[in-house]
Structure 1
Amino acid sequence: MSIAAVVLAAGEASRFGTPKQRLLLPEVLERLTQSSVDEIVVVAGAHTLETPATVVTCAGWKRGPGASLTAGLEELSAGAEAAVVVLADGPDLAPGAVDRIIASWRADGGTLVAASYDGVRGHPLLVGREEWGSIPDAGLRDLDVRLVPCDDLGSPGDVDTPADLPERLR
């Protein structure tokens, strides 16, 4: 079973003031390469991105994260049975969290499996192929998921403003 990763990096980054994806994406991609995913697709939109990973541009990125996710899923190889979704603004993504939700999906099935931190749903989120054709433009936030506790691995972070940057990236 092949597992892919889709990195959502299409947003405008208006609160950050500059394209934060360009700063944060290398961190996220490095962490994904340390996990067990077999392929990585980055979804760009508001800004062009240069990266060694496959990049697809979502012309409809303003419609919402689901539109960006759909664009990324359409780019994945036919052999991918599930996709791990991560955000480009989560530079502290733990490779172990990616592997933990993949292992949970392989062991217990389901179509949506997400990491949780202190009982709160977060990223990464795994989407089984059977869900790929029904992603709403608003994204998957309102859909039921099976949570996999990842508290011990630390949250991936959420950089919205320069003040949110980890010290190592300032």
Structure 2
Amino acid sequence: MSKIWSPAGVLLAAGAGMRYGMPKVLAHEGDWLRIAVEALHGGGCVDVVVVLGAALVDVPRPARAVVASDWRDGLSASVRAGIAAIPDADAAVLHTVDTPDVGADVVRRVLGAARTAPSGVARAVFQGQPGHPVVVAKRHWPALLASLDGDEGARWFLRQRDDVVAVECGDLATGADVDEA
């Protein structure tokens, strides 16, 4: 009997949102947070962690909060905190709180591609433009963590690889990263 695949969602929501004017985890009275948690959980993530930092908030169920105390160091600190919080998962689904039109259908599609891909690494693309979520199988976490620096998340890790499955999701969402209010 094969083991059940158990992916975990890591919602990156620790930043101060300087260009936005406030931490994006607070945007639209917490609607973006709720939408992102629902997308990860509804898309197939058994566990969902919300990485907080600049603003500490109650997270919607079934998510749980993790605080990146070093969040000022940039996105890399959030990814590290999120990965550390999901040691039993088979894959990390990295997602951002500031892509509010990404729903469970996008997460489900990218997870499905990662699960069947030999690399176990997949990312959503929208009309050919890379976006979130990004799925990274557990066997690649050491390389992912070693590649993190400053305000860069998985970007360098993904650029080093030629086996990342690009999953077109432009028919489901724009994947737009909202940086300004």
Give the ranges of 4+ consecutive aligned residues of structure 1 lying more than 3 Å apart after TM superposition.
Answer: none
| Range with bigger deviation, 139-148 or 88-97 | 139-148
1:109-141 deviation per Cα after TM superposition (whole angstroms, max 9, x unaligned): 314310111111111100111222232123211
SS at match of 1:33: helix
Distance 1:133 1:33 in 2: 25
TM-score by length of 2: 0.82
SS at match of 1:109: coil
Are 2:66 and 2:81, in contact at CA under 8 Å, matched by a contact in 1?
A: yes
Question: Percent of aligned positions with the same letter in both sequences?
Answer: 35
Are 1:94 and 1:156, in contact at CA under 8 Å, matched by a contact in 2?
A: no
Unaligned runs of 5+ in 1: 163-170
1:33-72 deviation per Cα after TM superposition (whole angstroms, max 9, x unaligned): 3211111000011111211321111112222212211101
Are 2:25 and 2:97, in contact at CA under 8 Å, matched by a contact in 1?
A: yes
1:141-170 deviation per Cα after TM superposition (whole angstroms, max 9, x unaligned): 1323321111111123322222xxxxxxxx
From 173, 178, 181, the counterpart of 1:154: 173
From 108, 117, 122, the counterpart of 1:113: 122
From 38, 43, 46, the counterpart of 2:51: 43
**Residue 168 of structure 1: aligned partner:** none
**RMSD over equivalenced CA pairs, Å:** 1.5
Aligned residues: 161
TM-score by length of 1: 0.87
Distance 1:14 1:66 in 2: 17
